[in-house]
Amino acid sequence: MVVGVTLQDVLDFGDGPAAAGAPFGPLAPVRTPLSYGAWVDVAPGWLRAADELFEALRADVPWQAERRQMYDNVVDVPRLTRFYGESEVWPHVLLPEICRAISDHYLPTLGEPLVTAGLCLYRDGADSVAWHGDRIGRSRFQDTIVAILSLGSTRTLALRPRGGGTSIRLTSGHGDLIVMGGSCQRTWEHAIPKTREPVGPRMSVQFRPAGVR
């Protein structure tokens, strides 16, 4: 990632309540063990600067609408996306600091840093992502970590064993951090289901190591 700011730049960002102190709290997630060596960590409300970051990313990221082949038709992907690689300039000064803090916490487990940021914007309850695992690249055959920072409206993040089985449902709220680790991408799937409830926009930022999508 290209980083041209210091931590002090981040602490001085904006006039909101997070400007007076650290933009995120101590990272002390609660872990839920899953089957097959998978696990998921949850740190509710970890990002204190969630309001500022959400508004800035929503306005400044060049969001992309994708289309995808599905059977005999080409359909709209029901969310907007933007991916930032390790060598790109990320769209906000806070993102590299968030990524570094998460990387430092999980480095003893993962053995390598998180270096990419994938952004998704769910505009309303009709936007979603179907059951899947992040299995492009090394995650097809290696344990890894995918850290998801949630911003905006609360949505459900569902997980189930790959191939079917009883799912678990996590609340993914404003400023929450959810980290999937171990064999989770190979042996489990996750999804953001559609909802008929009136919900506003929700954004996720997925931090991953090199060679994992």
The reply to whether 1 falls in a domain is: no
Measure CA of the first residue to CA of the last residue in the chain; give whole Å. Answer: 16
Residue whose C-alpha is closest to residue 191's, from 210, 213, 168: 168
The reply to whether 197 falls in a domain is: yes
The reply to whether 102 falls in a domain is: yes
Q: pTM for the whole thing? A: 0.89
The reply to whether 94 falls in a domain is: yes
Mention every residue, 6+ apart, whose C-beta is less than 8 A from residue 188: 34, 35, 36, 38, 133, 159, 160, 161, 162, 180
Q: Report the CATH number that the domain containing residue 28 is assigned in CATH.
A: 2.60.120.590
| Per-residue pLDDT in tens (0 to 9) along the chain, 213 residues | 544 434 444 444 444 444 457 999 999 999 999 999 999 999 999 999 999 999 999 999 999 998 776 566 677 899 999 999 999 999 999 999 999 999 999 999 999 999 999 999 999 999 999 999 999 999 999 999 999 999 999 999 999 999 889 999 999 999 999 999 999 999 999 999 999 999 999 999 999 999 999
| Total structural domains within the chain | 1
The reply to whether 18 falls in a domain is: yes
The reply to whether 2 falls in a domain is: no
The reply to whether 143 falls in a domain is: yes
Asked if residues 201 and 124 have their Cβ atoms less than 8 Å apart, the reply is: yes
What is the b/e burial string over 45-70, where b = at least 16 CB atoms within 10 angstroms of the residue's CB? Answer: ebbbbbbbbbebbeeebebeeeeeee
Q: Report CA Rg, the chain.
A: 17
Q: Give dist(CA 139, CA 38) in Å, integer.
A: 13
Amino acid letter for position 3: V
Residue range of the domain that includes 190: 7-208
